[in-house]
Chains A and B, each alone.
Chain A
Amino acid sequence: MKEKLIEFKNVSFAYEADGEAVPETKDALKGVNLDIYKGEFLAVLGHNGSGKSTLAKLCNAIYEPTEGTVSVKGIIPDTEEKADEVRRIVGMVFQNPDNQIVATIVEDDVAFGPENLGIEPKEIRKRVDEALKSVNMYELRHREPHKLSGGQKQRVAIAGVIAMQTDCIVLDEPTAMLDPKGRDEVMQTIQRLNKELGITIVLITHFMDEAVQADRVAVMNSGRIVMQGSPREVFAQNEKLNECGLDLPQSTELCKRLGIKDTVLNASECVEKIISMLGGAV
Protein backbone atom coordinates (compact mmCIF):
# COMPACT_ATOMS: atom_id res chain seq x y z
CA MET A 1 0.00 0.00 0.00
CA LYS A 2 1.33 3.42 -0.94
CA GLU A 3 2.09 5.74 1.93
CA LYS A 4 -0.13 8.79 2.28
CA LEU A 5 1.71 12.07 2.65
CA ILE A 6 -1.03 14.67 2.49
CA GLU A 7 -4.66 13.86 3.17
CA PHE A 8 -7.61 16.15 2.42
CA LYS A 9 -10.69 14.96 4.28
CA ASN A 10 -13.92 16.60 3.25
CA VAL A 11 -12.21 20.00 3.04
CA SER A 12 -14.20 23.14 2.41
CA PHE A 13 -12.79 26.60 2.27
CA ALA A 14 -14.80 29.78 2.11
CA TYR A 15 -13.33 33.19 1.67
CA GLU A 16 -14.55 35.38 4.48
CA ALA A 17 -14.73 39.02 3.54
CA ASP A 18 -13.80 40.30 6.96
CA GLY A 19 -12.56 43.60 5.66
CA GLU A 20 -9.00 42.38 5.54
CA ALA A 21 -7.21 43.81 2.54
CA VAL A 22 -5.75 40.86 0.71
CA PRO A 23 -4.31 41.59 -2.73
CA GLU A 24 -5.46 38.32 -4.24
CA THR A 25 -8.65 36.44 -4.81
CA LYS A 26 -9.23 33.31 -2.84
CA ASP A 27 -11.37 30.71 -4.50
CA ALA A 28 -13.65 28.52 -2.49
CA LEU A 29 -13.35 24.76 -2.07
CA LYS A 30 -16.29 22.46 -1.48
CA GLY A 31 -15.95 19.05 0.12
CA VAL A 32 -12.60 18.09 -1.32
CA ASN A 33 -11.26 14.59 -0.64
CA LEU A 34 -7.79 13.93 -1.94
CA ASP A 35 -4.86 11.75 -0.96
CA ILE A 36 -1.38 12.64 -2.08
CA TYR A 37 1.02 9.72 -1.90
CA LYS A 38 4.69 9.72 -1.08
CA GLY A 39 6.93 9.89 -4.14
CA GLU A 40 4.22 10.54 -6.69
CA PHE A 41 3.93 13.30 -9.26
CA LEU A 42 0.42 14.70 -9.07
CA ALA A 43 -0.84 17.39 -11.41
CA VAL A 44 -3.84 19.46 -10.35
CA LEU A 45 -5.58 20.93 -13.38
CA GLY A 46 -8.25 23.56 -13.55
CA HIS A 47 -9.07 26.92 -15.07
CA ASN A 48 -8.39 30.18 -13.23
CA GLY A 49 -10.74 30.42 -10.28
CA SER A 50 -11.41 26.69 -10.08
CA GLY A 51 -9.90 26.51 -6.60
CA LYS A 52 -6.63 24.84 -7.53
CA SER A 53 -4.52 27.58 -6.01
CA THR A 54 -6.48 27.43 -2.74
CA LEU A 55 -5.86 23.69 -2.66
CA ALA A 56 -2.12 24.36 -2.97
CA LYS A 57 -2.12 26.83 -0.12
CA LEU A 58 -3.97 24.39 2.14
CA CYS A 59 -1.16 21.85 1.63
CA ASN A 60 1.29 23.74 3.77
CA ALA A 61 -0.93 25.53 6.20
CA ILE A 62 -1.02 28.98 4.61
CA TYR A 63 -4.79 28.72 4.67
CA GLU A 64 -6.88 26.92 7.25
CA PRO A 65 -9.86 24.91 6.03
CA THR A 66 -13.26 26.21 7.13
CA GLU A 67 -14.49 22.63 7.29
CA GLY A 68 -12.76 19.25 7.26
CA THR A 69 -9.07 18.60 7.81
CA VAL A 70 -5.84 18.65 5.87
CA SER A 71 -3.20 16.49 7.48
CA VAL A 72 0.43 16.14 6.47
CA LYS A 73 2.07 12.93 7.69
CA GLY A 74 -0.73 12.81 10.22
CA ILE A 75 -0.06 16.30 11.52
CA ILE A 76 -3.03 18.62 11.55
CA PRO A 77 -1.62 22.16 11.56
CA ASP A 78 -3.97 23.76 14.07
CA THR A 79 -1.27 25.62 15.98
CA GLU A 80 1.56 27.86 14.79
CA GLU A 81 4.14 25.25 15.87
CA LYS A 82 2.42 22.47 13.97
CA ALA A 83 2.04 24.72 10.94
CA ASP A 84 5.77 25.26 11.06
CA GLU A 85 6.30 21.52 11.29
CA VAL A 86 4.13 21.03 8.20
CA ARG A 87 6.15 23.62 6.31
CA ARG A 88 9.27 21.58 6.99
CA ILE A 89 7.62 18.68 5.17
CA VAL A 90 5.87 20.52 2.35
CA GLY A 91 7.67 23.29 0.48
CA MET A 92 6.06 25.71 -1.90
CA VAL A 93 7.00 27.44 -5.16
CA PHE A 94 4.81 30.30 -6.38
CA GLN A 95 3.87 31.69 -9.75
CA ASN A 96 5.76 34.96 -9.77
CA PRO A 97 9.48 34.24 -9.63
CA ASP A 98 10.29 37.81 -8.62
CA ASN A 99 8.24 37.82 -5.46
CA GLN A 100 9.71 34.82 -3.73
CA ILE A 101 13.42 35.46 -3.90
CA VAL A 102 14.60 37.09 -0.71
CA ALA A 103 18.35 37.59 -1.01
CA THR A 104 20.49 39.63 -3.35
CA ILE A 105 22.69 36.70 -4.33
CA VAL A 106 21.50 33.37 -5.68
CA GLU A 107 23.29 31.12 -3.17
CA ASP A 108 22.24 33.29 -0.22
CA ASP A 109 18.66 32.91 -1.29
CA VAL A 110 18.90 29.14 -1.46
CA ALA A 111 20.42 29.23 2.04
CA PHE A 112 17.50 31.25 3.42
CA GLY A 113 15.26 28.28 4.24
CA PRO A 114 17.92 26.13 5.92
CA GLU A 115 19.10 29.17 7.87
CA ASN A 116 15.59 29.62 9.22
CA LEU A 117 15.60 26.00 10.29
CA GLY A 118 18.71 26.66 12.37
CA ILE A 119 20.93 24.19 10.55
CA GLU A 120 24.73 24.11 11.03
CA PRO A 121 26.58 26.45 8.62
CA LYS A 122 28.67 23.66 7.12
CA GLU A 123 25.62 21.52 6.48
CA ILE A 124 23.84 24.50 4.88
CA ARG A 125 26.76 25.04 2.53
CA LYS A 126 26.59 21.38 1.49
CA ARG A 127 22.83 21.46 0.98
CA VAL A 128 22.95 24.72 -0.96
CA ASP A 129 25.61 23.42 -3.34
CA GLU A 130 23.74 20.17 -3.88
CA ALA A 131 20.42 21.94 -4.38
CA LEU A 132 21.92 24.35 -6.90
CA LYS A 133 23.52 21.48 -8.78
CA SER A 134 20.26 19.56 -8.91
CA VAL A 135 18.53 22.47 -10.66
CA ASN A 136 21.58 23.22 -12.86
CA MET A 137 22.17 26.62 -11.36
CA TYR A 138 25.46 25.95 -9.59
CA GLU A 139 27.49 27.95 -12.12
CA LEU A 140 25.31 30.99 -11.56
CA ARG A 141 25.40 30.84 -7.74
CA HIS A 142 27.09 34.23 -7.35
CA ARG A 143 24.71 36.06 -9.64
CA GLU A 144 22.16 38.64 -8.62
CA PRO A 145 18.61 37.31 -8.99
CA HIS A 146 17.31 40.31 -10.95
CA LYS A 147 19.77 39.54 -13.71
CA LEU A 148 18.43 36.02 -14.26
CA SER A 149 15.79 34.87 -16.73
CA GLY A 150 12.36 33.83 -15.48
CA GLY A 151 13.14 30.14 -15.83
CA GLN A 152 16.40 30.56 -13.94
CA LYS A 153 14.71 32.47 -11.12
CA GLN A 154 12.10 29.76 -10.82
CA ARG A 155 14.84 27.14 -10.58
CA VAL A 156 16.49 29.17 -7.81
CA ALA A 157 13.16 29.16 -5.97
CA ILE A 158 12.95 25.39 -6.40
CA ALA A 159 16.52 24.98 -5.13
CA GLY A 160 15.53 27.02 -2.07
CA VAL A 161 12.90 24.42 -1.23
CA ILE A 162 15.16 21.44 -2.00
CA ALA A 163 17.78 22.81 0.39
CA MET A 164 15.18 22.58 3.16
CA GLN A 165 14.93 18.87 2.33
CA THR A 166 11.18 18.78 2.35
CA ASP A 167 9.46 15.55 1.35
CA CYS A 168 7.11 17.32 -0.99
CA ILE A 169 7.15 20.38 -3.21
CA VAL A 170 3.91 22.09 -4.18
CA LEU A 171 4.32 24.26 -7.26
CA ASP A 172 1.53 26.77 -7.83
CA GLU A 173 1.53 27.50 -11.58
CA PRO A 174 5.31 27.79 -11.68
CA THR A 175 5.42 28.21 -15.46
CA ALA A 176 2.51 30.60 -16.01
CA MET A 177 4.78 33.61 -16.36
CA LEU A 178 7.59 31.93 -18.32
CA ASP A 179 8.44 31.67 -22.00
CA PRO A 180 8.61 28.24 -23.70
CA LYS A 181 12.30 27.83 -22.92
CA GLY A 182 11.80 28.68 -19.25
CA ARG A 183 8.85 26.30 -19.08
CA ASP A 184 10.94 23.46 -20.49
CA GLU A 185 13.72 24.14 -18.00
CA VAL A 186 11.34 24.10 -15.05
CA MET A 187 9.44 21.01 -16.22
CA GLN A 188 12.66 19.07 -16.77
CA THR A 189 13.82 20.07 -13.30
CA ILE A 190 10.56 18.93 -11.73
CA GLN A 191 10.74 15.60 -13.54
CA ARG A 192 14.29 15.01 -12.41
CA LEU A 193 13.54 15.84 -8.77
CA ASN A 194 10.65 13.43 -8.79
CA LYS A 195 12.40 10.56 -10.56
CA GLU A 196 15.93 10.90 -9.18
CA LEU A 197 15.47 12.32 -5.69
CA GLY A 198 12.06 10.79 -5.04
CA ILE A 199 10.55 14.11 -4.02
CA THR A 200 6.76 14.17 -4.07
CA ILE A 201 5.56 16.76 -6.57
CA VAL A 202 2.21 18.52 -6.62
CA LEU A 203 2.04 20.63 -9.76
CA ILE A 204 -0.81 23.11 -10.06
CA THR A 205 -1.25 24.08 -13.71
CA HIS A 206 -3.60 24.75 -16.57
CA PHE A 207 -1.19 23.55 -19.22
CA MET A 208 -2.27 20.13 -20.42
CA ASP A 209 1.12 19.27 -21.90
CA GLU A 210 2.57 19.61 -18.40
CA ALA A 211 -0.10 17.45 -16.83
CA VAL A 212 0.71 14.70 -19.35
CA GLN A 213 4.06 14.25 -17.63
CA ALA A 214 2.49 13.47 -14.24
CA ASP A 215 1.74 10.06 -12.73
CA ARG A 216 -1.70 11.15 -11.70
CA VAL A 217 -4.01 14.02 -12.58
CA ALA A 218 -6.78 15.64 -10.56
CA VAL A 219 -9.09 18.05 -12.35
CA MET A 220 -10.83 20.83 -10.43
CA ASN A 221 -13.91 22.79 -11.34
CA SER A 222 -15.81 25.30 -9.19
CA GLY A 223 -14.14 24.22 -6.00
CA ARG A 224 -14.54 20.47 -6.44
CA ILE A 225 -12.36 17.69 -7.71
CA VAL A 226 -14.31 16.41 -10.69
CA MET A 227 -11.91 13.88 -12.18
CA GLN A 228 -8.97 11.86 -10.92
CA GLY A 229 -6.76 9.24 -12.51
CA SER A 230 -3.81 8.66 -14.78
CA PRO A 231 -3.34 11.23 -17.56
CA ARG A 232 -4.59 8.64 -20.04
CA GLU A 233 -7.76 7.97 -18.07
CA VAL A 234 -8.49 11.65 -17.59
CA PHE A 235 -7.68 12.76 -21.13
CA ALA A 236 -10.03 10.12 -22.48
CA GLN A 237 -12.96 12.22 -21.28
CA ASN A 238 -12.64 15.19 -23.57
CA GLU A 239 -16.19 16.51 -23.19
CA LYS A 240 -15.85 16.65 -19.45
CA LEU A 241 -12.51 18.45 -19.77
CA ASN A 242 -14.01 21.01 -22.12
CA GLU A 243 -16.74 21.66 -19.57
CA CYS A 244 -13.98 22.46 -17.10
CA GLY A 245 -12.56 25.04 -19.50
CA LEU A 246 -9.56 22.91 -20.42
CA ASP A 247 -8.13 21.80 -23.75
CA LEU A 248 -6.72 18.49 -24.83
CA PRO A 249 -3.16 18.41 -26.15
CA GLN A 250 -3.25 18.65 -29.95
CA SER A 251 -2.15 15.06 -30.51
CA THR A 252 -4.84 13.70 -28.19
CA GLU A 253 -7.43 15.90 -29.81
CA LEU A 254 -6.46 14.85 -33.33
CA CYS A 255 -6.74 11.14 -32.55
CA LYS A 256 -10.07 11.70 -30.83
CA ARG A 257 -11.42 13.43 -33.91
CA LEU A 258 -10.15 10.70 -36.17
CA GLY A 259 -12.10 8.22 -34.10
CA ILE A 260 -9.06 6.45 -32.69
CA LYS A 261 -10.27 4.70 -29.54
CA ASP A 262 -7.10 4.69 -27.46
CA THR A 263 -6.10 7.93 -25.82
CA VAL A 264 -2.70 9.11 -26.99
CA LEU A 265 -0.60 11.50 -24.93
CA ASN A 266 2.15 12.72 -27.21
CA ALA A 267 3.12 13.36 -30.81
CA SER A 268 5.05 10.13 -31.38
CA GLU A 269 2.20 7.97 -30.06
CA CYS A 270 -0.13 9.92 -32.31
CA VAL A 271 2.02 9.39 -35.40
CA GLU A 272 2.20 5.67 -34.67
CA LYS A 273 -1.57 5.37 -34.33
CA ILE A 274 -2.22 7.25 -37.53
CA ILE A 275 0.24 5.11 -39.46
CA SER A 276 -1.26 1.88 -38.17
CA MET A 277 -4.70 3.23 -39.00
CA LEU A 278 -3.68 3.99 -42.54
CA GLY A 279 -2.45 0.41 -42.49
CA GLY A 280 0.70 1.28 -44.34
CA ALA A 281 -1.56 1.39 -47.38
CA VAL A 282 -0.24 4.69 -48.57
Chain B
Amino acid sequence: MIGEITFGQYYPGSSVLHRADPRIKLITSFWLIVVIFVCKNFFSLGIIALTAIITSLVSRVPMKMILKSLKPIVIILIFTAILNIFYTQGGATYWEWWKIKVTEKGVNTAIFTMIRIISLVVISSILTYTTTPTALTDGLERVLSPLKVFKIKVHTLAMMMTLALRFIPTLIREIERIMNAQKARGADLETGGILQRAKALVPIFIPLMVSSFRRAYELALAMTCRCYTGGEGRTRMKQMKVSFRDIVLILYCTAATAGIIILNIFFEAVI
Protein backbone atom coordinates (compact mmCIF):
# COMPACT_ATOMS: atom_id res chain seq x y z
CA MET B 1 0.00 0.00 0.00
CA ILE B 2 1.15 3.46 -0.79
CA GLY B 3 0.79 4.58 2.81
CA GLU B 4 3.34 2.01 3.87
CA ILE B 5 6.22 3.53 1.97
CA THR B 6 9.39 4.50 3.72
CA PHE B 7 10.17 8.01 2.74
CA GLY B 8 13.58 8.90 1.44
CA GLN B 9 15.82 6.14 0.22
CA TYR B 10 17.36 4.98 3.45
CA TYR B 11 18.65 1.41 3.26
CA PRO B 12 18.68 -0.07 6.77
CA GLY B 13 22.02 -1.51 7.79
CA SER B 14 24.73 -1.43 10.40
CA SER B 15 27.87 -0.73 8.40
CA VAL B 16 30.52 1.69 9.61
CA LEU B 17 28.97 4.31 7.36
CA HIS B 18 25.52 3.72 8.79
CA ARG B 19 26.86 4.31 12.27
CA ALA B 20 29.01 7.31 11.44
CA ASP B 21 28.09 10.75 12.71
CA PRO B 22 25.65 12.35 10.25
CA ARG B 23 27.45 15.67 10.52
CA ILE B 24 30.72 14.11 9.46
CA LYS B 25 28.96 12.23 6.67
CA LEU B 26 27.43 15.45 5.40
CA ILE B 27 30.74 17.28 5.53
CA THR B 28 32.78 14.50 3.92
CA SER B 29 30.21 13.93 1.17
CA PHE B 30 30.20 17.61 0.35
CA TRP B 31 33.98 17.61 0.51
CA LEU B 32 34.31 14.69 -1.94
CA ILE B 33 31.86 16.30 -4.31
CA VAL B 34 33.98 19.43 -4.39
CA VAL B 35 37.07 17.32 -4.96
CA ILE B 36 35.43 15.67 -7.99
CA PHE B 37 35.68 19.00 -9.72
CA VAL B 38 39.29 19.47 -8.73
CA CYS B 39 40.38 16.43 -10.76
CA LYS B 40 42.22 17.45 -13.88
CA ASN B 41 43.37 14.16 -15.42
CA PHE B 42 42.35 10.54 -15.65
CA PHE B 43 44.70 9.48 -12.87
CA SER B 44 43.20 11.78 -10.27
CA LEU B 45 39.76 10.99 -11.59
CA GLY B 46 40.62 7.33 -11.11
CA ILE B 47 41.14 7.99 -7.42
CA ILE B 48 37.72 9.57 -7.07
CA ALA B 49 36.11 6.68 -8.94
CA LEU B 50 37.99 4.25 -6.72
CA THR B 51 36.89 6.18 -3.63
CA ALA B 52 33.27 5.98 -4.77
CA ILE B 53 33.59 2.23 -5.36
CA ILE B 54 35.31 1.54 -2.03
CA THR B 55 32.79 3.68 -0.16
CA SER B 56 29.86 1.84 -1.70
CA LEU B 57 31.46 -1.50 -0.82
CA VAL B 58 32.00 -0.37 2.76
CA SER B 59 28.38 0.85 3.03
CA ARG B 60 27.18 -2.72 2.32
CA VAL B 61 24.35 -1.28 0.28
CA PRO B 62 23.72 -3.79 -2.52
CA MET B 63 25.23 -2.75 -5.87
CA LYS B 64 21.78 -3.13 -7.37
CA MET B 65 20.48 -0.30 -5.16
CA ILE B 66 23.38 1.96 -6.10
CA LEU B 67 22.89 1.29 -9.79
CA LYS B 68 19.21 2.05 -9.30
CA SER B 69 20.10 5.52 -8.09
CA LEU B 70 21.87 6.07 -11.43
CA LYS B 71 18.80 5.17 -13.44
CA PRO B 72 17.14 8.60 -13.39
CA ILE B 73 20.27 10.27 -14.75
CA VAL B 74 20.94 7.91 -17.66
CA ILE B 75 19.38 10.34 -20.12
CA ILE B 76 21.40 13.24 -18.77
CA LEU B 77 24.54 11.14 -19.05
CA ILE B 78 23.92 10.22 -22.68
CA PHE B 79 22.98 13.78 -23.55
CA THR B 80 26.09 15.35 -22.02
CA ALA B 81 28.29 12.68 -23.58
CA ILE B 82 26.91 13.41 -27.05
CA LEU B 83 27.26 17.15 -26.58
CA ASN B 84 30.83 16.80 -25.41
CA ILE B 85 31.86 14.47 -28.22
CA PHE B 86 30.57 16.72 -30.95
CA TYR B 87 31.21 20.14 -29.51
CA THR B 88 34.64 19.77 -27.95
CA GLN B 89 37.24 19.77 -30.66
CA GLY B 90 40.99 19.30 -30.51
CA GLY B 91 43.75 16.74 -30.73
CA ALA B 92 43.77 13.82 -33.13
CA THR B 93 40.72 13.20 -35.23
CA TYR B 94 39.25 9.72 -34.80
CA TRP B 95 36.36 9.88 -37.21
CA GLU B 96 34.97 12.38 -39.65
CA TRP B 97 31.88 12.61 -41.81
CA TRP B 98 30.59 15.70 -43.54
CA LYS B 99 30.79 18.47 -40.90
CA ILE B 100 30.87 16.13 -37.95
CA LYS B 101 34.23 15.40 -36.43
CA VAL B 102 35.03 13.22 -33.45
CA THR B 103 38.30 14.22 -31.88
CA GLU B 104 40.51 12.97 -29.09
CA LYS B 105 39.62 15.85 -26.87
CA GLY B 106 35.92 15.37 -27.42
CA VAL B 107 36.03 11.70 -26.44
CA ASN B 108 38.18 12.44 -23.42
CA THR B 109 35.87 15.17 -22.19
CA ALA B 110 32.84 12.97 -22.69
CA ILE B 111 34.30 10.10 -20.68
CA PHE B 112 35.61 12.51 -18.06
CA THR B 113 32.27 14.20 -17.52
CA MET B 114 30.45 10.89 -17.36
CA ILE B 115 32.72 9.54 -14.66
CA ARG B 116 32.39 12.81 -12.75
CA ILE B 117 28.59 12.76 -12.79
CA ILE B 118 28.42 9.06 -11.89
CA SER B 119 30.81 9.54 -8.95
CA LEU B 120 28.82 12.53 -7.77
CA VAL B 121 25.55 10.62 -7.80
CA VAL B 122 27.06 7.53 -6.22
CA ILE B 123 28.63 9.50 -3.37
CA SER B 124 25.50 11.48 -2.60
CA SER B 125 23.28 8.41 -2.77
CA ILE B 126 25.53 6.55 -0.37
CA LEU B 127 24.93 9.45 2.00
CA THR B 128 21.16 9.10 1.71
CA TYR B 129 21.26 5.28 1.69
CA THR B 130 23.17 5.17 4.97
CA THR B 131 21.50 8.06 6.79
CA THR B 132 17.85 8.29 7.79
CA PRO B 133 16.07 11.47 6.68
CA THR B 134 15.69 12.36 10.35
CA ALA B 135 19.41 12.00 11.06
CA LEU B 136 20.14 13.94 7.90
CA THR B 137 17.92 16.83 8.99
CA ASP B 138 19.39 16.75 12.49
CA GLY B 139 22.91 16.68 11.10
CA LEU B 140 22.16 19.52 8.73
CA GLU B 141 20.76 21.64 11.54
CA ARG B 142 23.90 21.16 13.58
CA VAL B 143 26.33 21.57 10.70
CA LEU B 144 24.64 24.78 9.66
CA SER B 145 24.16 26.13 13.17
CA PRO B 146 27.10 28.55 12.84
CA LEU B 147 24.95 30.37 10.27
CA LYS B 148 22.90 31.65 13.21
CA VAL B 149 25.45 34.43 13.33
CA PHE B 150 23.99 35.69 10.07
CA LYS B 151 20.48 35.61 11.54
CA ILE B 152 19.54 32.54 9.47
CA LYS B 153 16.91 30.53 11.34
CA VAL B 154 18.55 27.16 11.00
CA HIS B 155 16.40 25.51 13.66
CA THR B 156 13.17 26.69 12.06
CA LEU B 157 14.28 25.37 8.69
CA ALA B 158 15.23 22.02 10.17
CA MET B 159 11.91 21.82 12.03
CA MET B 160 10.08 22.50 8.80
CA MET B 161 12.01 19.72 7.09
CA THR B 162 11.23 17.29 9.91
CA LEU B 163 7.55 18.12 9.81
CA ALA B 164 7.51 17.76 6.04
CA LEU B 165 9.12 14.33 6.34
CA ARG B 166 6.63 13.38 9.03
CA PHE B 167 3.56 14.49 7.09
CA ILE B 168 4.38 13.46 3.54
CA PRO B 169 3.18 9.86 4.07
CA THR B 170 0.08 11.15 5.86
CA LEU B 171 -0.73 13.51 3.00
CA ILE B 172 -0.14 10.86 0.36
CA ARG B 173 -2.63 8.66 2.13
CA GLU B 174 -5.02 11.57 2.37
CA ILE B 175 -4.78 12.30 -1.35
CA GLU B 176 -5.42 8.66 -2.09
CA ARG B 177 -8.51 8.73 0.12
CA ILE B 178 -9.94 11.90 -1.38
CA MET B 179 -9.29 10.64 -4.91
CA ASN B 180 -11.14 7.42 -4.17
CA ALA B 181 -14.04 9.31 -2.63
CA GLN B 182 -14.42 11.54 -5.68
CA LYS B 183 -13.96 8.68 -8.11
CA ALA B 184 -16.74 6.90 -6.24
CA ARG B 185 -18.94 9.86 -7.19
CA GLY B 186 -18.01 9.35 -10.83
CA ALA B 187 -15.19 11.89 -11.07
CA ASP B 188 -13.15 11.26 -14.17
CA LEU B 189 -9.49 11.99 -13.52
CA GLU B 190 -7.92 10.09 -16.38
CA THR B 191 -9.39 11.35 -19.62
CA GLY B 192 -9.71 14.68 -21.36
CA GLY B 193 -7.34 17.44 -22.36
CA ILE B 194 -5.00 19.32 -20.08
CA LEU B 195 -7.59 21.94 -19.17
CA GLN B 196 -10.18 19.31 -18.39
CA ARG B 197 -7.76 17.35 -16.28
CA ALA B 198 -6.70 20.44 -14.37
CA LYS B 199 -10.35 21.16 -13.71
CA ALA B 200 -10.90 17.61 -12.54
CA LEU B 201 -8.29 18.17 -9.84
CA VAL B 202 -10.36 20.86 -8.09
CA PRO B 203 -12.48 18.31 -6.18
CA ILE B 204 -9.23 16.80 -4.89
CA PHE B 205 -7.27 19.93 -4.29
CA ILE B 206 -9.86 21.78 -2.20
CA PRO B 207 -10.55 19.02 0.33
CA LEU B 208 -6.80 18.47 0.56
CA MET B 209 -6.18 22.14 1.34
CA VAL B 210 -8.99 22.21 3.88
CA SER B 211 -7.71 19.17 5.67
CA SER B 212 -4.10 20.32 5.52
CA PHE B 213 -5.00 23.62 7.16
CA ARG B 214 -6.88 21.73 9.84
CA ARG B 215 -3.90 19.47 10.40
CA ALA B 216 -1.52 22.41 10.56
CA TYR B 217 -3.72 24.14 13.09
CA GLU B 218 -4.05 21.06 15.27
CA LEU B 219 -0.36 20.33 15.02
CA ALA B 220 0.49 23.87 16.10
CA LEU B 221 -1.83 23.45 19.10
CA ALA B 222 -0.23 20.14 20.01
CA MET B 223 3.24 21.66 19.75
CA THR B 224 2.25 24.59 21.93
CA CYS B 225 0.89 22.16 24.50
CA ARG B 226 4.23 20.43 24.53
CA CYS B 227 5.91 23.72 25.39
CA TYR B 228 7.49 24.31 21.98
CA THR B 229 8.63 27.90 21.74
CA GLY B 230 11.25 27.65 19.01
CA GLY B 231 14.90 26.69 19.08
CA GLU B 232 15.88 28.83 22.09
CA GLY B 233 16.72 26.83 25.20
CA ARG B 234 16.00 23.50 23.55
CA THR B 235 18.13 20.49 24.29
CA ARG B 236 18.37 17.31 22.24
CA MET B 237 18.03 13.77 23.46
CA LYS B 238 20.32 12.34 20.81
CA GLN B 239 23.75 13.85 21.09
CA MET B 240 26.05 13.48 18.15
CA LYS B 241 29.55 12.45 19.08
CA VAL B 242 32.54 12.28 16.82
CA SER B 243 34.07 8.85 17.36
CA PHE B 244 37.04 6.91 16.05
CA ARG B 245 35.24 5.81 12.90
CA ASP B 246 34.45 9.41 12.05
CA ILE B 247 38.11 10.34 12.34
CA VAL B 248 38.94 7.43 10.04
CA LEU B 249 36.37 8.76 7.60
CA ILE B 250 37.99 12.18 7.65
CA LEU B 251 41.46 10.68 7.19
CA TYR B 252 40.18 8.58 4.31
CA CYS B 253 38.87 11.69 2.55
CA THR B 254 42.06 13.58 3.29
CA ALA B 255 44.11 10.77 1.76
CA ALA B 256 41.96 10.72 -1.36
CA THR B 257 42.21 14.49 -1.69
CA ALA B 258 45.98 14.47 -1.22
CA GLY B 259 46.35 11.76 -3.87
CA ILE B 260 44.26 13.74 -6.30
CA ILE B 261 46.24 16.94 -5.80
CA ILE B 262 49.55 15.14 -6.24
CA LEU B 263 48.41 13.39 -9.42
CA ASN B 264 47.03 16.66 -10.68
CA ILE B 265 50.48 18.19 -10.36
CA PHE B 266 52.47 15.30 -11.82
CA PHE B 267 50.35 14.54 -14.84
CA GLU B 268 49.15 16.72 -17.61
CA ALA B 269 45.63 18.02 -17.40
CA VAL B 270 43.17 16.44 -19.80
CA ILE B 271 40.41 18.91 -19.22
Contact = CB atoms under 8 A, between A and B. Distances in A.
**A-B interaction:** yes
Interface of A: 21-24, 60, 62, 84, 87-88, 91-92, 94, 96, 98-105, 107-108, 111-121, 124-125, 128, 144-147, 157, 160-161, 164
A257 to B, nearest CB: 41
12 contacts: A23-B210, A87-B224, A101-B166, A102-B163, A102-B219, A108-B238, A114-B235, A116-B228, A128-B237, A145-B166, A146-B3, A147-B4
Given A96-B218, A113-B226, A144-B6, 9 more contacts: A24-B217, A100-B218, A111-B236, A113-B227, A115-B234, A121-B236, A121-B237, A121-B239, A164-B226
Nearest to A118: B233
B162 A103 contact: yes
B163 to A, nearest CB: 7
A107 B134 CA distance: 12
Interface of B: 3-4, 6-7, 132-134, 162-163, 165-166, 169-170, 173, 210, 213-215, 217-219, 221-229, 233-239
Contact of B223 (A23, A98, A102): A102
B11 to A, nearest CB: 15
Given A87-B224, A146-B170, A104 B237 contact: no
Given A23-B214, A104-B165, A119 B235 contact: yes
Contacts of A92: 222, 225
A84 B238 CA distance: 24
B223 A105 contact: no
Contacts of B225: 60, 62, 87, 91-92
Contacts of A115: 234-237
Contact of A104 (B134, B221, B239): B134
A24 B227 contact: no
Given A124-B237, A160-B226, A164-B226, A24 B170 contact: no
Contacts of B229: 84, 116
Contact of B213 (A23, A112, A144, A160): A23
A116 B226 contact: yes
Contacts of A104: 7, 132-134, 162, 165-166
Contact of B217 (A22, A98, A145): A22
A125 B162 CA distance: 20
Contact of A112 (B7, B217, B226): B226
A76 B133 CA distance: 41
Contacts of B163: 102
A125 B237 contact: yes
Contacts of A160: 226
Contacts of A99: 214-215, 218-219, 222
A161 B169 CA distance: 24
Contacts of A84: 227, 229
B6 A98 contact: no
B29 to A, nearest CB: 21
Contacts of A24: 214, 217-218
